[in-house]
Chain A
Amino acid sequence: MDENDVKVKVLGSWSSPFVMRAMIALNIKSVNYEYLEERLWEGKSELLLKSNPVHKKIPVLIHGDKPICESLVIVQYIDEVWSSTPSILPSDPHERATDRFWAAYLDEKWFPSMRTIAIAQGEDARKAAIAQLEEGLVLLEEAFGKCSKGKPFFGGDQIGYLDIAFGCFLGWLRVTEKMSVINLLGEAKTPALLKWAHRFCSDAYVKDVMPETEKLAGFGKMIMAKLRGAAPPKS
């Protein structure tokens, strides 16, 4: 069966960087899909709860009747199923391992620091979180040099796995810079990433799914107000 005959849906939320990853990957592969917006603050849909019973989170890719969850798992699935069009992961095993390493670092260490800035109690905690973010960006600047080998993207001439894994956070990065009045990407410490960020955001596969910074900033303020005013969440 031609893969293009089977229906593809994405359950997502416009503000989620993780959902962006799935959509960029589908765009790269020229796969048509139906996008279903979850209004996360209003309660989760039946379809979401049924498709992702373990985590109840977006994104979920629904391919035919099969749900696939976890954004990086989804991106790899898309790359493997629609294998004839441009590759998302590199073909060399060591390069693949390097991409996966930095994607895991972004999800486990770097992005959590960004969220910490928003909810940090006290100036010291805030400064520590900002420092972690900056340290991470210096590491990623170095990784960019090694992975891109002088080309425009981590993936080389075209957007690849690590571009997607990292670039999806640029909207929130800009919001953090605005709200904390700091420069995280800058000429001094991360000149290559600064240029890469512009290229990524204006790329054909990205620009229609990257939320506007203003809209994201407004949404961010609303979340922060809710997090600060809300009772401590159950873990």
Chain B
Amino acid sequence: MAESDVKVLGSWPSPFVLRARIALHLKSVNYEYIEENLLESKSELLLKSNPVYKKVPVLIHGDKPICESLIIVQYIDEVWSSAPSILPSDAYERANSRFWAAYVDDKWFPALRGVLVAESEDAKKATIAQVEEGLVLLEEEFRKLSKGKAFFDGDNIGYLDITIGCFLVWIEVIEKFSEIKLLNETKTPCLLEWADSFSSHAAVKDVLPEADKLAEFSVKLRAKFLKARATSK
């Protein structure tokens, strides 16, 4: 299928966009990547393709837009079904992967984002504790699922690897910003090792943002967020 048949509307700092791109790389699908500048106004194409949320990523397949990163990943897995599977084949393992993906998006990521935009030392400490608690749960889950292999999914990158791995550079930025090691030898030794394996994987390494560039961006993002919070009070 021609490259122009598959497009990804994205933005380089977004971990959610990474999910879509990694999934497409795993399936060896060629696509056109269109950059949206999140700090400026949104393009016509984005507003037309995702009228409900107006957010990236959006996958445009032919003329059909698909929105929400986890929905996009499942769509990619189902459409390009002959290449390596992203979701496990067993129904219970699939349910477990979906459960933890929902946990990451509904509970863990908001805490991670909370560290970046926390206004007081106390608020920052509280959100860091939440992030660390979540990482301990994920470390435990990793041990259960990987069964000694490199990834959550075993020998190959799968749904849960993609869902969590997309946040690794953000974790690095927040570690620098808060002067604390979120992934460490003491509490999360397996995840620490997994982070290296994930980041250096062929389907991943070329799309991960550079930590310095992301750190610079995070300062602007924090300022924008705090300003919006101040004006809405």
Contacts and interface: CB of A to CB of B under 8 A. Distances in A.
B71 A94 contact: no
Nearest to A91: B78
Contacts of B74: 96-97, 100
B230 interface: no
Secondary structure type dominating chain B contacts = helix
Contact of A93 (B67, B78, B92, B102): B78
Nearest to A136: B52
Nearest to A73: B98
Secondary structure type dominating chain A contacts = helix
Contacts of A69: 99
Given A81-B91, A101-B67, A70 B98 contact: yes
A76 B67 CA distance: 19
Given A54-B137, A77-B91, A80-B94, A97 B99 contact: no
Of residues A73, A80, A97, which shows the largest number of chain B Cβ atoms within 10 Å of its Cβ? A97
Given A93-B79, A105-B52, A68 B92 contact: yes
Contacts of B91: 77, 80-81
A100 B92 contact: no
Interface string A27-38: 000000000000
For chain B, which range describes its interface: under 10, 10 to 19, 20 to 34, or 35 or more residues?
Answer: 20 to 34
Given A97-B66, A97-B74, A76 B52 contact: no
Contact of B75 (A55, A80, A94): A94
Nearest to A108: B106
Nearest to B134: A54
A132 to B, nearest CB: 13
Given A66-B92, A77-B94, A93-B75, A101 B68 contact: yes
B71 A70 contact: no
Interface string A57-68: 000000100101
A69 to B, nearest CB: 6
A69 B98 CA distance: 10
Contacts of B102: 70, 73
Nearest to B81: A93
A139 interface: yes
Contacts of B52: 105, 139
For chain A, which range describes its interface: under 10, 10 to 19, 20 to 34, or 35 or more residues?
Answer: 20 to 34
B150 to A, nearest CB: 25
B64 interface: yes
A104 interface: yes
B71 A104 contact: yes
A93 B59 CA distance: 13
Nearest to B101: A73
A68 B91 CA distance: 11
Nearest to B75: A97
B85 to A, nearest CB: 14
Nearest to A100: B71
Contacts of B99: 68-70, 73
Contacts of A55: 103
Contacts of A74: 95
A168 B76 CA distance: 29
A108 B95 CA distance: 19
A139 B50 CA distance: 13
Nearest to B96: A68
A76 B92 CA distance: 10
A70 B66 CA distance: 23
Contacts of A94: 61, 64, 66, 75
Interface of A: 54-55, 63, 66, 68-70, 73-74, 76-77, 80-81, 93-94, 96-97, 100-101, 104-105, 139
15 contacts: A68-B95, A68-B99, A70-B98, A70-B102, A74-B95, A76-B95, A76-B98, A77-B92, A77-B95, A93-B75, A97-B72, A100-B71, A101-B66, A101-B67, A139-B52
Interface of B: 52, 61, 64, 66-68, 71-72, 74-75, 78-79, 91-92, 94-95, 98-99, 102-103, 137
Given A76-B98, A101-B66, A101-B71, 16 more contacts: A55-B103, A68-B99, A69-B99, A74-B95, A76-B95, A77-B94, A77-B95, A80-B94, A94-B64, A94-B66, A96-B74, A97-B71, A97-B72, A100-B74, A101-B68, A104-B71
